[in-house]
Amino acid sequence: MTAVAEILFQDVETAAFVARDDETVPLAPDEVAGETLYSLLSAGTELNIYLGEYQKQGLAWGRLPFVPGYAAVFQVEAVGSDVDDIAVGDVVFCMGKHMSRQRLPRRNVLPLPAGLDPVMGPFARLANIGMSCLTTAEARPPATVVSMGLGLVGLAGAMLFDLSGYRVIAVDPVEARRELARERGLTEVVSEIDPSAVGKVPLVLDFSGHETAISAGLDVVAQGGEVVVAGVPMIRKADIYAQEILNKVFRSVARLRSGKEQQVAAHPTPFRSGSMFENMAGVLQWIADGRLNFEGLYEMGSPRDAQSIYQDVLHIRHGKLTVMFDWSDI
């Protein structure tokens, strides 16, 4: 038996650090496995599970008890007999959970580019949401993009569109988040959209999941443009009726659509543009090349302190956008 430690949401607002025995099963020929170095907390998705919002809506995914996790980097300790391009000792990225060991098919891991600090690897997953929006957007550079919400996912999305040649107007009501965006080179960072933009923006990205932001996006979108809902409107935050939203969609002739990252296939697929793993590999290389900068956006934490960390994130008790769990001493 192999011991595995993990973070477990045992109940609403209850995160525990637990250890369990994991039955040792030989690796399949196409699998790789190893010890986790880092895993990244995704505040939006994980907090909604932690608060029981998914369970309240009867969704099977995220039902408590639940082992959360979104992105991890691990050092390979074993490879299956068919794996010939990854070796023991390599450091790889995966869409893994908050646990001390990872085990996945080879096609679901990405080797880190040479020279990339492993702690930067997990950011590729959070950036993948913006990459899916970029892959599927109809507006092409140098079009103007309004990006609503500057949490980690929204900031990553704004940075990606800026890097790709769009004019990006980044919007967030919180000054501390606006300052983080400016520090990363975004030049048009505002608390609200200028009225002069009404009806002129071909692409609006909402990463906030807030009804008022989506409604404001429909005000500024150009006729025939797109408003992409990339942030999950998990709970009701405003007294906005569907009639108001639908009336704006009708009159703007705009497309209001999902920005869910799975709108892009996981792996290269015939007759479909792009894939999640191609996009994440690209993000990893851009981070390694210094074209994307996630330094200073996270605090380091121990999985042993999971409950206090999730409470701090929930109640916004620090100035960073997320927490990176360090598994090196587990």
Residue 3, pLDDT score: 85
Whether 307 shows a pLDDT value over 60: the answer reads: yes
For the segment 306-330, the average pLDDT, to the nearest whole number, is 93
Which tens digits make up the pLDDT trace of 190-219? Answer: 999 988 889 999 999 999 999 999 999 999
Which tens digits make up the pLDDT trace of 12-30? Answer: 999 999 998 876 789 999 9
For the segment 241-252, the average pLDDT, to the nearest whole number, is 94
Identify the band that residue 319 occupies on the pLDDT scale cut at 50, 70 and 90.
confident
Residue 242, pLDDT score: 93
For the segment 213-229, the average pLDDT, to the nearest whole number, is 96
Which tens digits make up the pLDDT trace of 63-79? Answer: 899 999 999 999 999 99
Euclidean distance between CA atoms 243 and 265, whole angstroms: 33
Contact (CB, 8 A) for 49 and 69 = no
The two tokens of residue 229 are 């809902």
Residue 123, pLDDT score: 98
Euclidean distance between CA atoms 6 and 14, whole angstroms: 14
Residue 62, pLDDT score: 83
Residue 243, pLDDT score: 95
Please give the domain boundaries of the chain with CATH numbers for all domains.
2-111+296-326 (3.90.180.10), 126-263 (3.40.50.720)
Identify the band that residue 98 occupies on the pLDDT scale cut at 50, 70 and 90.
very high
Whether 1 shows a pLDDT value over 60: the answer reads: no
Which tens digits make up the pLDDT trace of 115-169? Answer: 999 999 999 999 999 999 999 999 999 999 999 999 999 999 999 999 999 999 9
Identify the band that residue 224 occupies on the pLDDT scale cut at 50, 70 and 90.
very high
Which tens digits make up the pLDDT trace of 251-302? Answer: 999 999 999 999 999 999 988 888 999 999 999 999 999 999 999 999 999 9
Residue 23, pLDDT score: 67
Task: List, in sequence order, every beta strand (DSSP E) within the chain.
Answer: 2-11, 14-22, 31-40, 71-79, 91-94, 101-105, 109-111, 144-148, 167-171, 188-190, 201-206, 221-229, 255-258, 298-301, 322-326
What angle do the packed helices 123-136 and 152-163 form, to 10 degrees? 50
